Chain A
Amino acid sequence: MNMTARLRKIPFWSSVWFILGLLYFVMPLLATFEFSLGMERDVIGFKAYESAFADPEFLETFGYSVFLATMTIMVSIILIVPTAYWIRLRLPEARRIVEFITLLPFVIPAIILVFGLIRVYSSPLEVPFLDRLLDTKIVLVQPLTNFKFGTNVLIIGGYMVLGLPYMYRSVDTGMRTVDVRTLTEAAQSLGASWSTIIVRVILPNIRTALLSGALLTFAIVVGEVVLASFLGVPAFGPYLFLLGQHRAYEPAALTFTTFLLTWAAMGIIQLITGGQEQVSGAH
């Protein structure tokens, strides 16, 4: 086949749309990359990256974000896997209500979520109605927004909410493909306890689903800025935002790095799930 015949086989309009899409995708990345290389006058180099990575505050905030992401993923798995498992096995009538709840984060944007969290948890938790009866107050917990551990609890809870639709769907899809009932019965007949079943039988069998849910959560949490900045958490998102206010090149370098990280996370998901598309949304 000669060149023109081969070219004729490629549909014209499809190619036009594809190339346009490609340009839209690539241009901002190319521009950011190009900009990030120009820190030193007349020299193209990675000075901005060196400078950005050398900032101790970058390491601290990024490390903190990774910590938050890890905690979010772990607690999410501890919460969601047994729930999804139990629903599949014992409580199918709870499926609708639980699925409904997992979709609620789509209705409640991050800014509303953090607003509500602050409204609820910025006042101390007291024994209800006691002040009306006895005229005294017994404070059970200080306002969560006032101390570090409390804020961590709030933000991890908030991130779990943001990741809930993706995590639950991943886990539920994973459990659909393996027959949890048979696996459970087999394990039970061998005398395994509930915790053994979940940790040693169910978890390994849905590890692909867990990994894709975890990576998606990671991608959401690491660059997240709304919850972190309103709750006053020193995470990477607010750091990048502030850096952008008074620096030019370092933020571009970090932006490009963030993109590569997101790319890595999505690439791995694509690889392990074999192209099962993950539909998600940006906030």
Chain B
Amino acid sequence: MTQITPSASKMPTPRSNLKNWIGVIPFFLFALLFIFLPSLRLFVGGFTNADGQFTFENVIELFTQKYILDSYLLSIRISAVTALGGGIFGFLLAYSVTVGGLPKPLRSALVTFSGVASNFAGVPLAFAFVATLGRTGFVTAVLKDVFGYNIYDAGFNLYSFLGLSLTYMYFQFPLMVLIMAPALDGLKREWREAAENLGANSMQYWLRIALPVLLPSILGAMILLFGNAFGAYATAYALTGGRLPIITIQIGAQVRGDVLHNPNLGNAMAMGMVFIMAITLAGYSWLQGKSERWLR
């Protein structure tokens, strides 16, 4: 992702003096005002007590207050489940249109559709799923009328962990498709031919060659999916109205009004989220570097 283009280093670069940095001052000023200052404020606040002194109390409370810890865990669980589910399904879909042998036009259709769906989140997505799998939803009705199976009698509820996961999947697996389709293109035909010449069957080729090569990309993409779900707020809020206390909902409640009666604890909660997101991004870029060894 981050690489210095060779042309930049080969060219006789003009003497880099401090004057050149003036050109990027507006950008850094923007980053300072809208990214760093807000983050820094939350960060400092997270380590400050009510009297304005430095403390670890807020951070410790994140782990000792049961409902905060539970919110984190719920968010992590839902992100992990949808990253895994969306990752597997998205991989199979990407497989079907790349090396799976489906006609080419289907591929560009799927990629366009994935671009749309991965951006289709928030309130509209929640409404769409209410119309689909809600109590009077379309699919619910079809299943009941045609197949005589009432999913709500069977214990399904859209406003639950499973329901929210199914909704998240709508933007999760398209993202996987978008990342995996180019990676699958990177599998070289020669590898397959070489394997077949050596007597490998399809199963052996996938298990011993293709999947090991793809594994960093797959894991990296899944980590990205994890972060994608972990930061989501609007979809969950519009769907469940805050009944499913994931961490973003808790933070939202804290922004609306100081429900914790401790603003700095809210800051610490926010920083905890950024911390987890930072780990996921670091993991992603590490795996990205690994996958570039073989692909492209």
Contact = CB atoms under 8 A, between A and B. Distances in A.
A72 to B, nearest CB: 12
Interface in B113-133: 113, 115-129, 131-132
Interface stretch (A62-70, A132-140, A258-266): A258-266
B259 interface: no
A17 B96 contact: yes
B68 interface: no
A116 B38 contact: yes
B248 interface: yes
A39 B252 CA distance: 33
A18 B173 contact: no
Contacts of B101: 10-11, 14
**A interface, by DSSP: helix, strand, loop or mixed?**
helix
A25 B26 contact: no
Given A90-B20, A116-B38, A223 B14 contact: no
B100 A17 contact: yes
A103 B227 CA distance: 13
Q: Interface residues of B toward A: which range?
A: 35 or more
Interface of A: 10-11, 13-15, 17-18, 20-21, 24-25, 27-32, 34-35, 79-80, 82-83, 86-88, 90-96, 98-101, 103-120, 157-158, 160-161, 176, 181, 216, 219-220, 223-226, 230, 237, 240-241, 244, 251-252, 254-255, 258-259, 262-263, 266-267, 269-270, 275, 277-283
Scoring B14, B182, B232 by chain A CB atoms within 10 A of each residue's CB, the highest score goes to: B232
A113 B24 CA distance: 23
A237 B110 CA distance: 27
Contact of A93 (B16, B127, B254): B16
A259 B233 CA distance: 19
Contacts of A20: 89
Contact of A116 (B39, B170, B224): B39
A95 B131 CA distance: 46
Given A18-B106, A225-B123, A92 B4 contact: yes
A119 B38 contact: yes
Given A24-B169, A91-B23, A277-B182, 9 more contacts: A17-B89, A28-B125, A29-B128, A111-B255, A230-B252, A237-B234, A259-B128, A262-B119, A270-B108
Contacts, number: 289
B74 to A, nearest CB: 15
Contacts of A226: 122, 233-234, 252
A223 B126 CA distance: 12
Nearest to B30: A79
Contacts of A79: 26-27, 30
B218 interface: no
Nearest to A252: B131
Contacts of B132: 27-28, 31-32
A120 B35 CA distance: 11
A51 B41 CA distance: 45
B260 interface: no
Given A24-B170, A118-B255, A111 B231 contact: yes
Contacts of A21: 89, 93, 96, 110, 173, 177
A13 to B, nearest CB: 7
Contacts of B80: none
A280 B119 contact: yes
B277 interface: yes
Given A14-B101, A91-B21, A270 B111 contact: yes
18 contacts: A91-B20, A108-B35, A108-B274, A109-B231, A110-B234, A112-B39, A112-B251, A115-B42, A119-B41, A161-B34, A216-B119, A266-B116, A277-B178, A280-B178, A281-B118, A281-B224, A282-B171, A282-B235
